[in-house]
Structure 1
Amino acid sequence: MEKKKALEGAVNDVVEGKMSWRKAAAKWGVKKSTLGDRITGRVALGRRSGPPPILTADEEDMITNWTVSMAERGFTVTKTQLRYTVKKILDKDGRQNPLKHKSPPNLPGDKWYRHFLERNPKARLAISKKVDVKETKNCESAESIWFTNFKTFLSHHSLLDKPTNIWNYGELSFSVQTKTGKVLGTTNRTVTDPQITVEACINAAGLAIPPYFLFPKKVGRQSRNPLEGSVPGSSCYFTEKGLMDSTAFHAWFSTHFIPNIPSKRPSVLLHNSSESHLDYETFKLAEENQILLFRLLPNTSNFLQPCDVALLSPMKISWSKVVSDYVDDNPSQEVNIETFTKVFRVAWGMSVTYKNVVDGFSRSGIYPPDKSKFSGTSGTSSTTFVDNP
């Protein structure tokens, strides 16, 4: 029985003279001191003892449901994400955090976080289900569990026969300036220099939405339109180093992905990026638009992510060729941020074909779901195209 209903029942029994505080507390399984506080009016019925709450009960339920839904789809809501989500709720409504915390304003502290998990055991359980990426590497059990869960998920939402509604999002990263266009391959290197990130999104029916470009702020705001000559329908966003973050992902999702996919829902978006990209606002927007976020098995993007399987090899070849052709035609120039999208348009057309996209979903075993095609030996979470030294 819910604590709230039990407490209300105990109060009613005492107020109506049916039994004493002690007997009512024992009958309903509540603390006698807690019951006494409500009977005397020291604490109003319907609110907890102690400091005033930061969120309402409905808001805490909303946050809990978010953590549970994320866990069911392979994502983990981090402590930082949860605390900053609460801060956004308070900031948006103009409310002040009644609990003192140093900075930034309205950000709940560690003590609040611990008490939130105590009050919401479902959230505590969901947050504890974090998948260890190292343990999933070459792990048949993790692989089998993921495929079983994914196929069940598609079946539950009647998507097993709807390839048009099964989407995968991936990132391709390029050097800001290049003359060679040669590719070393995939890397997990720490990014220190600005780069250009291309957000690609394809579906199991062989379709792709136009690319979305992330440009570095320091070199990105040129007088020339960086999208001039780009793939029709392309959009762009500026971040500190041209890398994806939660704000950029929300912008891509809300202004580019949703408007560019068919209106028939639900749709699923397979995602392999960091959980930090998926804040509560993006999750809420996805639910409102019947878009189901689902995480790929960690550390497997080279062989499980359709974007990587479909586009990596063709893009290596086409990018090298189009950059070489551009430099041959323009000996004194290099492909830079002002010319990048124009040159990239050619490589995109050569790489993102119906055959490549469909093959990417099939060879990865994502669609049709087929665990037997999962045969990779190592994974990486991003693809970076860089020059040979």
Structure 2
Amino acid sequence: MHGAIDAVLHEGMSIRRAAEQYGVPKSSLGDRLSGRVLADASCGPATYLSFAEEEELVVFLTRCASIGYAKSRKEVLALVQCVLESRGIQKSVTNGWWESFRRRHPGLTLRTAVPLSLARAKATDPEMLARYFDLLEKTIQENDLVGKPGQLFNMDESGMPLDAKPPKLVAVRGAAVSAIGSGDKTQITVVACVSAAGYCIPPMVIWDRKFLSPELTHGEIPGTIYGLSKNGWMDMELFNLWFTNHFLRFAPAVRPILLLLDGHSSHYCPDTVRLAANEQVILFTLPPNTTHLSQPLDKGCFGPLKVAWREACHQFLTMNAGKIVTRYQFSRLFNQAWMKSMTISNVCAGFRVTGVHPLNRDIFSDVEDPPSIGKREWTSFHPTI
């Protein structure tokens, strides 16, 4: 097209002849020469994403691959499909879009991944942990977060079972012992977020229903926010709700903020990532298969929280003969467990024993426990886009 335009403008060639010689549509060439269409405009239908958005996607995919957790073609298509649906565009993102996207960005390609052996996956990988601490230390230093625990946060979800396992009970040696339970295998998802200074943001509770009954909130923790989903699990929409309407509301006004979280795909809604960048919140993904070691909430709070939850449920069953723990008792009992376990000392301990604050890259040097395989698939992401 550029050659045809030059031929007409500088060589005096007719539009018809230039179109034939350079193999471009005569009408398209005429539109560009007349100014009805920009000379640099590409032919064909408009792309799903703008040029800037595609560049942003390329940066995201490149950074994922650089840490060793590249996205598959199907994952990229699903991500773009999510963007279209959020805009109300009823179109399917197919492999045809992928091929066009690759042609527009020839630096991207599909590569066969090197498989990770089970033996290596079961062992804490020193290289991965070293790379994690390299990135963590660099991020903290470059963003002037050294010695600022109030700007270091960790977010994670956990399930609270309605049929909680009872604590150990006194019984006659050799005799069988039983305890009344609810029989309901439902787990209520709760979202916790804490800072290295010991500050707890009120939780988010996710219910497996379409409408929230006020009775479910009786006895709630002040400031609790609620989410609704079909299965009671976190998804992109709920994470965006939590980040936009809850985290930013309770987080300190000083910036930047470092937010540590696992790599679950629900944590990386495009709108959330973009908002985080605008709000100077750095989303930092914890390394794979090590969240039981590197996640401050797992190390400092969730263990005591689940113990306190079991005790609260057992006490309720003991004091209310003939009743069971249902969704309608959840908020009050969870309030008791939360207040007992989410203490400043537990929160600060979680950041300390994971080497986040104070920063201690040698914290895992003597670890012998293998990571829990299959807890979650890790989706690497360490940028501020």
What range describes the TM-score normalised by the shorter chain of this pair?
0.7 to 0.9
Name the structure 2 match of 1:364: 354
- Alignment equivalent of 2:98, drawn from 86, 100, 113: 113
Residue 139 (1) aligns with residue 125 (2): yes
Q: Which amino acid aligns with 1:297?
A: P
**Contact between 2:165 and 2:310, CA under 8 Å: does it hold in 1?**
no
Equivalence for 1:231: 221
Distance 1:325 1:138 in 2: 39
Q: Which residue of 1 aligns with 2:313?
A: 323
| Offset at residue 132 of structure 1 (A) | 5.9
How far off is 1:373 after superposition?
A: 0.8
Distance 1:133 1:289 in 2: 39
In the aligned structure 1, how far is the partner of 2:239 from the partner of 2:60? Answer: 18
Change (3 A) 1:92 1:321: closer
Look at both structures and tell me which one has the larger radius of gyration over its CA atoms: 2
Higher mean C-alpha displacement, 280-289 vs 374-383: 374-383
Quick one: percent identity of the two aligned structures? Answer: 26
| Conserved? CA contact 2:163–2:186, under 8 Å | no
Residues 312-360 of structure 1: per-residue CA shift (max 9 Å, x gap): 3312332222222222221222221111111111111111111111111
Shift of 1:307: 0.4
Q: Provide the residue aligned with 1:167 in structure 2.
A: 153
The corresponding residue for 1:207 is 199
Aligned AA (1:107) = S
Q: Assess, with a 3 A threshold, how the Cα gap between structure 1 residues 55 and 238 changes in structure 2: closer, same or farther.
A: closer
Distance 1:113 1:314, change over 3 A: same
- Corresponding residue for 2:179? none
Question: Is 2:366 aligned against 1:373?
Answer: no
What is the aligned counterpart of 1:272 among 236, 242, 262?
Answer: 262
Distance (Å, rounded) in 2 between the aligned partners of 1:118 and 1:284: 25
Alignment of 1:169-188 (within 5 A): 169-178=155-164, 180=166
Q: Secondary structure at the match of 1:372?
A: coil
Letter matched to residue 206 of structure 1: G
Shift in Å at residue 303 of structure 1?
A: 1.0
Q: How far did 1:369 drift?
A: 2.1
Using the alignment, how far apart are the partners of 1:149 and 1:205 within structure 2?
21
Aligned residue for 1:299, secondary structure, equals coil
The 1:59/1:171 distance shift into structure 2, 3 A limit, reads closer
- Give the match for residue 314 of structure 1: 304
Change (3 A) 1:149 1:279: same
- Give the C-alpha shift of residue 222 in structure 1: 6.7
* In 1, Cα distance between equivalents of 2:114 and 2:26: 44
Instruction: Tell me the residue number matched to 2:138.
Output: 152
Q: Aligned pair in 2 of structure 1 residues 293, 75: CA closer, same or farther (>3 Å)?
A: farther
Query: Which of 252, 256, 259 is the equivalent residue of 2:249?
Result: 259
TM-score w.r.t. the length of structure 2 is 0.76
Distance 1:261 1:83 in 2: 33
Structure 1 residues 229 and 131, CA gap change in structure 2 (3 angstroms): farther
1:204 positional shift: 1.0
Measured on the aligned residues, the alpha-carbon RMSD in Å equals: 3.7
Gaps of 5+ in 1: 1-6, 21-32, 96-104, 183-191, 384-389
The 8 Å contact of residues 164 and 310 in structure 2, kept in 1 or not, is answered as: no
> Could you list the per-position Cα deviations for residues 107-149 of structure 1 after superposition, in whole angstroms to 9, with x for gaps in the alignment?
2201211331332245659x99999696554111111111111
Structure 2 counterpart of 1:83:
77
CA distance in 2, matches of 1:37, 1:16: 17
Query: Would you say how many aligned residue pairs link Structure 1 and Structure 2?
Result: 344
Deviation at 1:52, TM superposition (A): 5.0
SS of residue matched to 2:238: helix
Q: What is the letter of the counterpart of residue 100 of structure 2?
A: H
Amino acid at match of 2:289: N
Residues of 1 paired with 2:71 and 2:117: CA distance?
A: 15
Inter-CA distance 222–47: structure 2 relative to 1 (3 Å threshold): closer
Distance in 2, matches of 1:203 and 1:130, equals 37
